[in-house]
Amino acid sequence: MGTLAPLLACVLSSASPGLPTLDASSDEAVERSIDRMSMTAQERYALLSDISAALHPVRKRCGLGYSLPSGLPYAKFLGPLNGRTAPEIRQLAATARTREQARQEEMAQVRLELASLSSRIAAMEADLEALKPFVLSSRLTVGGSGGAIDVTVRNHTARPIAAARFRAVKCCGTRPGDWLSDSFAHRPSRPLAPGETARWTLHVPPRSPILRPGQVPKDFFGVTAEALEGPGGVRLHEFVYETAEVLSWQRDDGQARLSELERMRVGLAR
């Protein structure tokens, strides 16, 4: 009996009337099979819509821009649906629509993230422009117990500056690893008034990287302001190069992903 069961099932299956299927052997066969698969105008419209949705992956690969139900494509493009019943096509269409919805939602999320990143980068770039003119000049001196950096600063902002953070950079060779940097904070005895110029001295500890001896005739040395703080700890301007670099990378990755999602839209039905 066990050996007859598969044969019996096959016979019963072939004997039972099946659902009409899509015939993609020619344009005329497509029309005839669609007529057989849909009994009413409403069913025909729904079937054509499902065919259009189910063909999304095919049209994406072929770069086609046609759309159903406004017009039938050539039969050769319906090859992946040849022999499919209406319920099978409906299931393929549901899968394609779900994927398209997920793509649209991801695009919306990426756009939100890009807008946030762009806003943060713009704010940091504005801070950078405000910080650039703060340091007028700088000079590094090395002593027995470390060193000192004399900086001449000018307050170009409209508010008093009670503290500042600086980034000192030194090149002591010709290799990439010979670029050295360190951060220094300074809080003057009194706030620097708007428009005021002052000379501050930053203490450099003995283990600071910028005290490494140079190996070129004339070392490059420079100091820039990273952050300015007003009385009461109020943040005025801040620019951290590492943070700005990471944000730029994230923005580039987001733009690349958005472009990829946009390319996936080509040829899809609207």
The dihedrals phi and psi of 218, each to the nearest 5 degrees, come to: -140, 110
Q: Based on C-alpha coordinates, what's the Rg of the chain?
A: 35
| Mean per-residue pLDDT of the chain | 80
Interior CA angle at 78 toward 76 and 80, to 5°? 110
CATH class of 132-239: mainly beta
Which of 106, 117, 241, 133 is CA-nearest to residue 194? Answer: 133
Strands, sheet with 179-186, edge to edge from the N-terminal-most edge strand: 179-186, 163-171, 220-229, 235-238
Asked if residue 55 lies in contact with residue 78, where contact means CB atoms within 8 angstroms, the answer is yes
Please list the pLDDT of the chain residue by residue as tens digits (270 residues): 444 344 324 433 443 358 899 888 888 888 888 888 988 889 988 988 888 888 866 555 544 443 444 444 556 677 788 889 999 999 988 988 888 888 889 889 998 898 998 888 888 888 888 899 999 999 988 877 888 999 999 999 999 999 999 999 988 766 666 788 899 999 999 999 999 999 999 999 988 888 877 654 456 789 999 999 999 999 999 888 778 888 888 888 888 888 888 776 543 333
Domain ranges of the chain: 16-101, 132-239
pLDDT of residue 74: 56
Distance between CA atoms of residues 3 and 11, nearest Å? 14
